[in-house]
Copies of this chain bind each other. A is one copy, B any other.
Amino acid sequence: MAILVVGSVGYDTVETAAGSRKDALGGSATFFSVSGSYFAPVGMVAVVGEDFTTESVDLLKAHEVDVSGLQRAPGKTFRWSGVYGRDDVNSRETLDTQLNVFADFDPRLSPDHRSLPYLFLANIDPELQLNVLGQMEERPKLVAADTMNFWIDGKMEALNEVVRSVDVLFVDENEIRQLAAAHVGAVNVVRAARFIQNMGPETVIVKRGDHGLIQFMGDSIFAAPAYPLDTVVDPTGAGDSFAGGFVGYLAATGDLGPEAFRRAAVVGSVMGSFAVESFSVERLGALKQTDIAARFRDFGNISQFAPLQSNETLPWRDGAAAL
């Protein structure tokens, strides 16, 4: 079943401990689409300027991303530039953001797109996220959304409405605490996630960069480490690649049960780990089925331990007892 993503497509200029790139293809919809396209057909709604290159379009087409919703507007393509901490890949500083044609982005869904069963609202203005959701012919089978602190600060009301309307919310640790704090004051991640779940989304996925994730789904918690990498080249796009693998896996299986959600989170982590091994989508866009399956298996190897059998207990010192 096919997925619709609405988000940004742009050119990133980044500097990391591993080097730098100027005007490399990026944007939330790009990373999501390339990642998700391994698992299910993806249609993209986004806007680019007159300077958007044929090579960039060809790359998306090579992944059979449906680019019929990629509007081209007069002006320049969205550009972002930033630098990542040399000692902490989880920290980054934005040097410059040029919205360009993205400033007037007015997502218009085609009749085909309005009936797609899986929808990912990437990190854009929550008013646009609501606008897109409102254009769908019927409520999609699954709606997932991402957001960021910028919208928590500036568009709280619309963002609350987005939160109330989605099935799955992706947020980072600081964002979920900030989001919950606006309603209930300072609480830790677990309490914040429970609060946000009560607002609407059955599932809240708290991303922790190279420290993994916690997935809150109904009453159940799934916590997973990140895939340990000995080289991280560029963290840009990790979260959207995660979301692409996550929604891609669910769309491919059509299974929205708890076991499928756990596997989806691992597939997402695997795709995120590929994304950060290069600049742009250089590595993410050049994967074989065996690469992904091998890392998924390896993820199992690094995170599994022998559970207690039903008739088994932990060893205990003779006489050890509570006071």
- Using a CB–CB cutoff of 8 Å, the interface residues on chain A facing chain B are 17, 37-41, 59, 62-64, 86-87, 89, 177, 186, 188-191, 194, 208, 211-212, 214, 220-226, 228-232, 249, 252-253, 259, 262-263, 265-267, 285-289, 292-293, 296-297, 300-308, 313-317, 319-323
Query: Quick one: closest B residue to A229, CB to CB?
Result: B190
By CB atoms of chain B within 10 A, which of A37, A229, A321 has the most? A321
Q: Are A315's CB and B249's CB within 8 A?
A: yes
Chain B residues in 8 Å Cβ range of A39: 314-317, 320
Give how many copies assemble into the complex: 2
Q: With A223-B212, A230-B188 given, is the CB distance from A38 to B316 under 8 Å? A: yes
Contact A305 B222 (CB under 8 A): yes
A221/B230 in contact, CB under 8 A: no
Q: Do residues A317 and B224 form an inter-chain contact, with CB atoms below 8 A?
A: no
Q: Which residues of B contact A303 (CB under 8 A)?
A: 222-224, 303
Q: CA separation between A189 and B48, bound complex, in Å?
A: 38
| CB pair B305 A224 closer than 8 Å | yes
Task: Check A314 against B293 for contact (C-beta < 8 Å).
Answer: yes
A25 to chain B, nearest CB (A): 13
**Given A305-B259, A315-B252 in contact, is the A38-B323 Cβ separation under 8 Å?**
no
Tell me the bound Cα distance from A259 to B225 in angstroms.
18
Closest B residue, CB atoms, query A181: B87
- Contacts A190-B230, A214-B225, A285-B323 given; indicate if A38 touches B317 (C-beta within 8 A): yes
* Residues of B close to A177: CB separation below 8 A: 87
Given contacts A64-B319, A223-B225, A224-B305, 7 further A-B contacts (CB under 8 A): A39-B314, A87-B177, A190-B230, A214-B225, A222-B305, A286-B322, A300-B305
Chain B residues whose CB sits within 8 angstroms of the CB of A288 once the complex forms: 321-322
Q: How far is the CB of A226 from chain B (nearest CB, A)?
A: 8
Q: How distant is the Cα of A211 from the Cα of B249 in the complex, in angstroms?
A: 25
Kindly state the separation between the CA atoms of A300 and B315 in the bound complex, as whole angstroms: 17
Please give the distance in Å from A320's CB to the nearest CB on chain B. 5
Determine the distance from Cα of A10 to Cα of B194 in the docked complex, in whole angstroms: 37
Given A302-B221, A315-B252, verify A323-B230 contact (CB < 8 Å): no
- Chain B residues with CB below 8 A from A263, complex form: 305-306
Closest CB in chain B relative to A299 CB, distance in Å: 9
Q: Are the C-beta atoms of B320 and A17 separated by less than 8 Å?
A: no
B225 touches A188 (CB 8 A): no
Q: Chain B contacts of A87 at CB under 8 A?
A: 177, 186
Cβ of A266: which chain B residues have Cβ within 8 Å of it? 305
Q: Quick check: A194 and B230 within 8 Å, CB to CB?
A: yes
Complex CA gap A249/B59 in Å reads 53
Determine the distance from Cα of A252 to Cα of B316 in the docked complex, in whole angstroms. Answer: 7
Once bound together, how far apart are the Cα atoms of A297 and B236, in whole Å? Answer: 36
B307 touches A304 (CB 8 A): yes
Q: 14 A–B contact pairs at CB < 8 A?
A: A39-B315, A39-B320, A59-B323, A63-B320, A188-B229, A212-B223, A214-B225, A221-B302, A223-B225, A224-B303, A249-B315, A252-B316, A285-B323, A287-B322
